[in-house]
Every structure is written in C-alpha cells, then in structure tokens.
Amino acid sequence: MPGNPRTAGHSRRGVRAGPRWRAGQSALRHDVPASLVVFLVAVPLSLGIALASGAPIAAGLIAAVVGGVVAGALGGAPLQVSGPAAGLTVVVAETIDTFGWAVTCAVTACAGVIQILLGMSRVARAALAIAPAVVHGMLAGIGVTLVLGQLHIVLGGAPQSSAVDNLLELPGQIVGHHDAAAIVGLVTIALLVLWPRLPAPVSRIPAPLAAITLVTLVATVAALPVQRVELPASSFDLALVPDLPSTDGLDFGLAVVTVALVASVESLLSAVAVDRLHTGPRTNLNRELVGQGAANITSGVLGGLPVTGVIVRSSTNVDAGARTRASAVLHGVWVLLFTVVLAGLIQSIPLAALAGLLVYVGAKLVNLPTIRTVRGHGDLPLYSVTLLGVVVLDLLTGVLLGVVASLVFVLRRTIWSGVHVLEHAEHPRIVVEGVLTFLSVPRLSAVLANIPAERTVRLELVVDYLDHAAFDCLSTWQHAYEQAGGTVVVDEIGHPWYANGKARSPTVRRQEARTVAPRWLAPWSAWMAQESGVVVPEQRHRPVHRGASEFQWRTAPLVKDTLLRLASGQSPHTLFITCSDARLVPNVITTSGPGDLFTVRNLGNLVPVGESDGRAESSVSAAVEYAVTVLEVREIVVCGHSSCGAMAALHDGGDGAPPAVRSWLRHGVPTLRRRATQAPVLLADERPTAPADALALHNVLQQLEHLRADPRVAEAERSGALVLTGMYFDVGAAQVYLLDPDSGGFQPAGVKAG
C-alpha cells in the first residue's frame, strides 16, 4: 500500500542527509582539534612576524584572523592555513620604512586586488610546472630556518636576524643556557616524539595539543621562571585605515606588485606542497589566488599584515588530522576569541614550549624518505640548491634559484644524455634518444668523430624530434663515413624522422609522428620500410636474418633473464592449437611471453580423430598427450580466425588445392557435417556474412569435441584440472572472441555474454 508522499519524501531526504550528517560530524571531530593545534602555532608566529616586520604587534593577529576566516573560506586549498608569513618579513619591513604603516596597509589591500585579477586570469596553474624537488627543497629550507631560529628560544635565548646568524650563534647559546626554558623546550620535543607511540586511547589526542597543554600545566603549577607569551592590552584597538601616498606613486606601485607576486608565489607553492602531504581534495589554484586576494584586501583595510598561505601552519594542520577547510576557518576564530576574550590563557604558555613545537614541525619538513626519492630521480642538486637558497638568502630567491637550476639541468640533459656509445668493437653501436636538436650537435659530432673508420656502424635513432641542424650533422657524417669505406646502418625506432628528411619530406610537426604503428607490433615489412640506412649485404632480401639481428640487438637483452630461468625446463599453462596462418601471432593476441604457451599449428587448426578407436593418429595427438600428461597444462585453446584459407578450401570441397592439402583437409569433414546439421554459430550475436568464416566458427566447436574424445583430456576436464576454451580472431578488426558455453556463440573478449 503506498505511503504518504510527503512522509516518504521526508524519509528519503532523511536517508540522504544521514551520510552528510555523519560526514560532517567526522570532519568536525578531526577539524576542531586540528584547528586548536594550528591556533597554538599561529599565535606566536603571527606575533613574531609582526615584531620582525616593524609593524604594530596586533597587525600579526589581525592577519592571522583574516587569513583563517577569509582565505580559509574562499580559497581553493581546503587544508591550507593562511596568515602572516616569514617570507614577506623583509619586504614589509622595507615598505614600512619607506612609506609608514598606514600606506603599507594600502599596499597590502592593492596587492590583494592584483591577486584577484591573477586568479580570474587563470594563470595560477603555472605553479605546477615547478619541479617537485624544488618544492620539497623549499619545504626543507623553511624547516631548517625554523629549527635554527626556534632552538635559541628553546635554550632560553633570542633568535638572530637570519638563519646564518642563528647557526653561528648556536654553539654559544648551547654552552651558555641550561635553565628552565631549556628543560621546558626539550620536554615538549620529547613528548611530541613519544606521544604517537603511546596506547591507542591516549595517542588519539593530537600530539602537539597534548604536549603544549601538559607542559603549560606543569610550568604553571611549578611556577617555573620561563618567558611566556605576551599580548598588548586592547590588541585590536588600532583605529587605523589604509592611506594612499601623496607622492612616489611609482615606488608605491612597485611595492604593490612586489607584495602581490611574492605573496602569490608563496601561497601557490605552499598549496602545491600541502597537496603532497595528504590524499584529500586537490587544490584549485586559481580559486586559491582569489581567496588570498580577498584576504589581503580585508587585512589591509583592517590594519593587518599581508596574508599568504603558510606551509608551517598548513603542514601542522595536515599532521593534526584536519579533513576540511573548517579547520583553517576555526583557527582564525580561536585567534580572535583567545586574544580578545581569553588572553590570559595564551599568556600562560611558555615560549620555550611553543618553540619546541616549532622545532618539531620544522624538523619534519626535512623528510628523509623524500630526499631518497629525489635522489633516486637524479634531482638531489635541485633540492640542495633550493634548500640552501631559502636558508642562506630568502624564500623567493631560493625558489628562483631552484627553478633556474632545474632549467639548466633540462638543458644539460638535452645536450648530453641523449647520445650513447654502447659497444666498442668491430661493429660500433650508437644510440641516440630523446629530442635531437641543434643543442645536441656538439656532443653528437664529437661522438661520431671518434668512431673508427671502415667499420659497420649501427646508428639507432630513438628520437622524439629531429631538427634540421641535427639532421645535417647525421647526414653529413653518414656520407663522409661511407665514402671513406665504412658502412652505416641507420635504425629508426618509431617515426622515420631521419628517413623522411633524406626523402626530402621532413617531418616538421610532432602530430605527424603519431600515425606510425609501434615497431614492436607492426609486421616486418611495415617497420622495415622505414629503414633509412644501408642494409648489410649478406642480409639483403633475407627477412629472417634481419629479424634475428634485430632480436640480438634489441630484444635479447630484455628477455635474457626470463629465458635463463626457463633454460632448465618448460611449464606452460596453456596448450594453444591454432592455424598456421602468418597473420596469427598467439603470444600477441593473448599477451603472453616465453614459456606461457605450448603451441600446435596446422592448416585449419584441426585435431584429427582416428576412425578405429576415436583417438588422434597424428602429431597433433602426440602434442595433446604430452601437454596433458607431462606438462599438465591447465587449459587447451582452439583458435580459429577470419579469412582462413583452409576453411575456404574446405568449403569449396578442396577444389584447386594441392594434393597434400586436400589429403589433410579430410580431417575437416566432420566440420562440414556439423554445419549441415547444427544451428548457425553466432559471432557477437550475429551470423558471419562470409561462408568460410561461418565454417571456421563451427570448426572450433568441432575440434573441441575431438579433444573431448581423448580419454586423457576428458578425465582431466572432468576432474577440474583442465579447461577447454574456444577462441576466434577477426584479423581485420583485430578483435578476439571467446566461446560462451551457455549460448554456444562467441562474444568479444572482455564482454560478459547475456
């Protein structure tokens, strides 16, 4: 009986809302603790950046609140946390010295407008072109800078103005400070390291939150003489608005562009880096720029510092288990509430404890598995250059050095690594790979000039592109070498860039190269037609010799280990019975390799059956017997194919066929009888139009019956040790069909019948 439509509708909405409600609960369960952890990191960082920039102390807190709420809500990086960043400290300090604080607020607001325009122009994805090694080097550089600075606070001292100065002063700081601050900082670091190893009920509490809370409680109860967080009275009562300069409009515009570009680059790189730290939603970089711009406009109007995405807070956010952008927004709310309403609680936190937290966070940014991965890809120099640039100079300069280094490496690899001399013997072998352009000509000509004279040289071109300068270099050398009595065999794998050039029809667009069939799958005649060099005389018009040489040159090194394992014996999983037709390559259509198939081939893929005892009286029977009883194959496949000459001859009664062929085709007579007495066999639910193809389908079924007439095959199939499979290959369509036992027809491979 139908229910009330309104009731049913509400019920359905309730069912749909259930998962969303549970997802929201789950997100808040993770995001609220994470936001508290990020808040604890953000407050001291914001205060410190404001002091280092020469701005009012509350400007850092305003930027933290705006960065969390505005950028967190509008930005395109859900797990990125924004606020005042150390990367802009020098720029902001110079701007304040030049224009004063009120004009600096106007610079911040105008920079936000530029960021919004950049985001709407959709240029932000250019940040993805930066090499991962540069991004990881940036993270490591920030981590090292953070550790060097905060270690001074852990030891009870004060950080210096630069990472280099912090490093130089650190030995004296270690020797001179062993007070309560050092104990608080070291205990905080120890708790952060050990907390995740505690039993599950306890370790579920975020380690940073637990460590800061416990250390603060102990320091408060014990009344330890340590420095604590200090907030000014009436933190947000600035009564400042942005003010445009009366003169120096050009300098003002330059300051705006500088802040906009540095803030944008830092935010985008931070967003890209954050995406590498989690598996959640990916960043919309253009939207992120718009969100950052809106935050800077708001921060500038309210009297705050410039806002960027901050990797320290963002990585802390991810490590603390944040799931959605709610964590970033809430962290801004906590900064506002705690600094205005509950400032006393913040002021009870020891600076050394927060410094210990930052040392731990910074150390995690120098990730050893990442360094090993970067080293494995050969990009460790890029990583090192970026890291040192960020530590010794500044964030933007370090990243620019990394980008320049990556471009230099690409140029070097293009020039150097594409030319290899693999053999020094009577037949030198030169392999040229990648993009071969004028940049590679010096290296290429040097290699070619050192080839001994009057040899047979094999020049293998595995190139994605060949320009005019490289073509001239190769062509000139080839002609000169051959005139001096040598022989050059030019072997192009893939598209014939060089051959087309010699034929005066060079390829000038990469798209033209995509129409050439892969050499490994193309018939011998197809890829041999691409051969542009001189064929060795003893191999002229001898395809098998040419193919054997090709195997030794290229394929043998790839399959040598596999064949070595198979040298002591075979253990194929399938007996494959198919036609002798040259268009059928069993290993290709079954994606199998050496040792997989025990193959029997004859005209028409026939399995003869003797008239006296029902057993095959031919070499086929011997192969079947050996495969089933000795090799113990798990499957027997009978594979027919379209346009089969044997089936066509059988259909015509053997007229015109040679005597031996007619004699062999007598084993196909049962197939003719089957066609006359049985229903048509369907191919993909349709009857083949060619009579020979229809007969080929019947033939596969008939040969399977012949196999089941063998007692050994029947017993193995009955016990489940053997499976019989019918297969058909449409040559023109390059389509494999498999027999469906239920319908008795053939269906395309990979498509379930019925």
Give 536's DSSP letter: P
Pairing, β 635-641 against β 574-579 = parallel
Record the tokens describing residue 87, joined without a space.
């990367």
C-beta separation of 195 from 211 below 8 A: yes
Pair 606, 620: CB distance under 8 Å = yes
Query: Long-range contact list for 556-563, CB < 8 A, 24+ apart?
Result: 559/593, 559/594, 562/593, 562/594, 562/595, 563/594
Structure confidence at residue 715 (pLDDT): 95
Name residue 728's beta-bridge partners: 640, 737
CA Rg, the chain, in Å?
38
Select 417-534's CATH number: 2.115.10.20, 3.20.20.140, 3.40.50.720, 3.30.750.24.
3.30.750.24
Domain 570-748, second-level architecture: 3-Layer(aba) Sandwich (3.40)
Domain ranges of the chain: 23-401, 417-534, 570-748
On the CB side of 61, CA atoms within 13 Å amount to 26
pLDDT attached to residue 29: 80
pLDDT value of position 3: 44
Helix axis angle, 163-176 relative to 132-154, nearest 10°? 30
pLDDT in tens, 185-229: 888 889 988 988 888 777 767 677 788 888 888 888 888 888 776
pLDDT value of residue 496: 74
Return the C-alpha torsion angle 20, 25, 26, 28, nearest 10: 120
SS3 747: strand
| Cβ-contact 347, 228 below 8 angstroms | yes
pLDDT value for 425: 61
Strand-pairing partners, residue 602, are 579
Low-confidence ranges of the chain (pLDDT < 50): 1-17, 530-540, 611-616, 752-754
298, two tokens: 């708001």
pLDDT score for 24: 58
CA distances from 158 to 474, 480, 533 (A): 65, 73, 73
Q: What count of other Cβ atoms lies within 10 Å of the Cβ of residue 542?
A: 13
Taking the C-alpha atoms of residue 244 and residue 138, their distance in angstroms, rounded to an integer, is: 34
Three-state DSSP state, 64: helix
